[in-house]
Amino acid sequence: MFEKFDIDYVLLEAHEEIECPGGAGIGIMPNGCFLLDQLGLYEAIRLAAGDGEVETSYIRDAKGKPVITLQHMMYHQEKRHGYPMLFFDRKSFLKTLHDQLKHKSRIRLSKRVQRVVQTPSGVEVHTTDNATPIKGTILLGTDGVHSTVRNQMRQLAPPSYFPADEEEKVPCYYKCSFGIAQHVEGWTAGEQGFTTGDGKSFLVVSGPNGRCYWFLFVRLPDVKRGKQIPRYTAEDEAAFVRENRKLKIKENLEFGQVYAKRISSALTPLHETVYQKWFYGRILLVGDSVHKPNPIGGMGANAAMETSAELINVLLDLKKSRANGLNGLSNDEIKGVFDKVQETRFARANRTIAASHELQALNAYEVPMLSSLVWKVLVPLAGSHNFFRELSAGIVGASRLKYLPLPARSRTLPYDHELPAKPLSKSSKRIAWSLFSMTMLFLIYTASSAMNVTFEELQSWGTVAPLKRNWLGGGTVPNAILNVLTSLISFPVLDQGLAPRVHLIYFLTHMLSPLLIYTVEGYRIGRHGTLLSLPVIFMFGMQLQGICKFAPLYALLSAAHAEQNPVDRAVRTTVAKVLVPALVLGFLIPTALMFGPTPDQSRWQDWVALFQWTPPIFSFLVAVFSSGLSLWSRITKGRPEDANKHPEWYSTADVPILKSAYTVVFAVQATVHLTTLAYAITHPDLSMAAVFFQLPHPFNLDWNLSIAEKVFAILRYDVLLTHVAIALHNLYTVWELRGQGYVTTMAAVQAAGLVILGQVFVGSGATWAGLWSWREDVICGVSVDGEKSRKN
């Protein structure tokens, strides 16, 4: 990075050659590949990695039996982030970087740091070979967890500068056997395997030339800290291998078999920490010397690259603001640079260390019940998409070199620095979520109180005659409930007054958006494994308990899963194509028949009873029609060769179809809204208050109304509370898009303003449909099209 920007540097290497023998493999994640691509090094690194690309990943139990299989890892990583995960020899990585250098003379070999001296204008580094001290403006300590530079920095600083006993508080939870093996019988090229166990776990990754890289993590009986952390000898390693050689990696492969094919190996304690202060004076720590994760997460080298990138960014910002560039930097300027680097990287470094620690704890069954629940129930239920989603969460927040162009490679998921706006902090999101959740709970409570009618009161066909039909078998609870629901709707259907009938028409047409959107959200890739993926629950619920209860409940659950990225968003086109036909056949036609008076009272009651089933009928028709379309496609076109790669996750083919459905629903609801308002305002026997308001107190149980008036009041509450819940849910959705950085603050304010205005001018349902149409474009729009980038 220094060479790329023509910043003078000297690199001190303790070993005699740049490809030092220490270490095993190195994992370069997509975020690391991104930075290497900016530097023009990615193609060389990928060539060096050879076939060291992970194609299939397994989570296995302690017996080596697969619990979860993730296929086409490289395909999904490249589709999501533009790059795969590469794993190969650390030596090959260093050699490739060295080969790309123009000024190889700046690499000084056999220069182990012994002592550091700070001068008024720089630093002097004394090495163990007693050569002439090496002078510079700043010193970067990249010498690992046992950093000499860190020790020297602490000696130079006043005692109060660093937290007391910080070194002695560094924890070690695990010891780790790691190494490289080659031509292991029973190991398949292109595989990555996590093997879980009681206090022990494996990570084994394929590399080039028939190699595999193993990590065996064994939990220490007690957490060791500071000087208590042991250093292991060759004898310790031999004893460790004897003790664990029978551990299963796969069903047909034991640790001893891998170890027997080793090229290199070591046993080491695993420090896990992020130091509170990363610098003093003109010395800055980078990489494992200051933020050391458990290697199970594969982020160590990538984190070091990110810190280095942020240092370069801040230095170039400073250079841009100074007439003489980076010459003659003062101590205050250096402190400002280092402060900014730590401020930028500290939170993400902590998240990286925490994520690796949590993954290790799950794999080693530190809390057996939790690990069993996660690996045996939740992850299989959630599906492979959600596993990839978790992997992506640790990648998209990566750093970039802001003075270099962004690589022109297509990626469905943008990095945070590519978004229209900076994502908001998690604390602000938590506050907003808490306030929203409390509001939805209050609406549910209000709705429960406002449903002020008993089953005993709803036993008649309007005010005309008793209603006792045996649609579902006489004397059964389901039949009794259906009679009650039919009775409830019969009052406004049969009412001779205009207001109840006008209100009911308005109410029922405004069910179109909930029906459509609950279904769309249920079929999104990112909803798999959540309650939202079962829209039929909400379809039944809104009929049995009232949509005024289920609209805020849905909003509450949706807010818990509010973040959606372009991969989460996708809906199968076979589903998108059948939404409008299913709405017409399953909801609109039965609803229209309910309003058609007929002299045959029993037949009319049948239509009203059928209406009670329309939401689940719609849901059923979507499932049947979409399955039929899928089957027809397979019969006529055959199964696509790449079907098991799930290309639909990264497709936007559904977007125009969904937007057409939103447009239809918007048009119907907006028309009904405007017509209803005009009719209520102009008709001499109606008013807005009579149709929508004039409500009794929701918490006063004694309404003193006739049953017909009480039902009308309940239906008005149903509409009012539902619309409040939907409007607030819409506003929260806009907030969440801003929180993710998918829209700017100005765009969010404009969208929120339109949501508010929409309640008046087109109605709640139409506004929701319009917002969701816009939202599809917003989420799709953040993806990066590499072809367009190259043209620009």
- For the stretch 721-741, pLDDT in tens is 999 999 999 999 999 999 999
Q: Full-prediction pTM beyond 0.95?
A: no
636: tokens are 């006529």
Output the pLDDT for position 677.
Answer: 87
Output the pLDDT for position 354.
Answer: 96
State yes or no: pLDDT of 774 exceeds 50.
yes
State yes or no: pLDDT of 695 exceeds 50.
yes
Q: 11-398: what fold?
A: FAD/NAD(P)-binding domain (3.50.50)
Amino acid, single-letter form, for residue 139 = L
d(CA 666, CA 673) in angstroms, rounded, equals 10
Q: At a CB cut-off of 8 Å and minimum separation 6, what does 2 contact? A: 8, 9, 312
Query: Rg of the chain's alpha carbons, rounded to an integer?
Result: 32
- For the stretch 628-656, pLDDT in tens is 999 998 888 877 777 778 888 899 999 99
Please give the residue that has the higher pLDDT: either 475 or 540: 540
Mean pLDDT across the stretch 370-388?
A: 88
d(CA 471, CA 450) in angstroms, rounded, equals 29
pLDDT tier at 58, thresholds 50, 70, 90? very high
d(CA 53, CA 769) in angstroms, rounded, equals 43
State yes or no: pLDDT of 666 exceeds 90.
yes
d(CA 92, CA 636) in angstroms, rounded, equals 50
Output the pLDDT for position 83.
Answer: 94
Mean pLDDT across the stretch 592-615?
A: 81
DSSP state of 132: P
Q: At a CB cut-off of 8 Å and minimum separation 6, what does 682 contact? A: none
Percent of the chain with pLDDT strictly greater than 90? 67
- Quick check: helix, strand or coil at residue 767? helix
d(CA 544, CA 484) in angstroms, rounded, equals 10
State yes or no: pLDDT of 494 exceeds 90.
no
The single residue listed with the structure tokens 């790309």 is 100
Please give the residue that has the higher pLDDT: either 461 or 112: 112
Q: Could you tell me if 171 and 274 are in contact, meaning their C-beta atoms sit under 8 angstroms apart?
A: no
Output the pLDDT for position 792.
Answer: 47
State yes or no: pLDDT of 265 exceeds 90.
yes
- What are the structural domain ranges in the chain? 11-398, 426-634+647-781
d(CA 470, CA 122) in angstroms, rounded, equals 92
Percent of the chain with pLDDT strictly greater than 70? 98
Output the pLDDT for position 711.
Answer: 77
Output the pLDDT for position 285.
Answer: 97
- Taking CA atoms, 306 is separated from 33, 147, 274, 289, 344, in Å, by 11, 19, 15, 14, 10
Mean pLDDT of the chain: 90
Q: At a CB cut-off of 8 Å and minimum separation 6, what does 784 contact? A: 82, 406, 409, 410, 411, 414, 418
715: tokens are 């239906």
Determine which of 197-206, 487-496, 558-567, 663-672 has the lowest per-residue pLDDT on average.
Answer: 487-496
Determine which of 265-269, 354-358, 379-383 has the lowest per-residue pLDDT on average.
Answer: 379-383
- For the stretch 172-181, pLDDT in tens is 999 999 999 9
- Taking CA atoms, 248 is separated from 55, 65, 567, 621, 786, in Å, by 21, 9, 35, 48, 43
State yes or no: pLDDT of 398 exceeds 50.
yes
Amino acid, single-letter form, for residue 391 = L
10: tokens are 């000297």
pLDDT tier at 21, thresholds 50, 70, 90? low
Q: Could you tell me if 774 and 751 are in contact, meaning their C-beta atoms sit under 8 angstroms apart?
A: yes
Distance of CA 274 to the CA centre of its chain: 24
State yes or no: pLDDT of 443 exceeds 90.
yes
Classify the phi-psi angles of 694: left when phi > 0, otherwise alpha if psi is within -120 to 50, otherwise beta: left
d(CA 549, CA 440) in angstroms, rounded, equals 9
Mean pLDDT across the stretch 46-51?
A: 87
pLDDT tier at 786, thresholds 50, 70, 90? low
pLDDT tier at 135, thresholds 50, 70, 90? very high
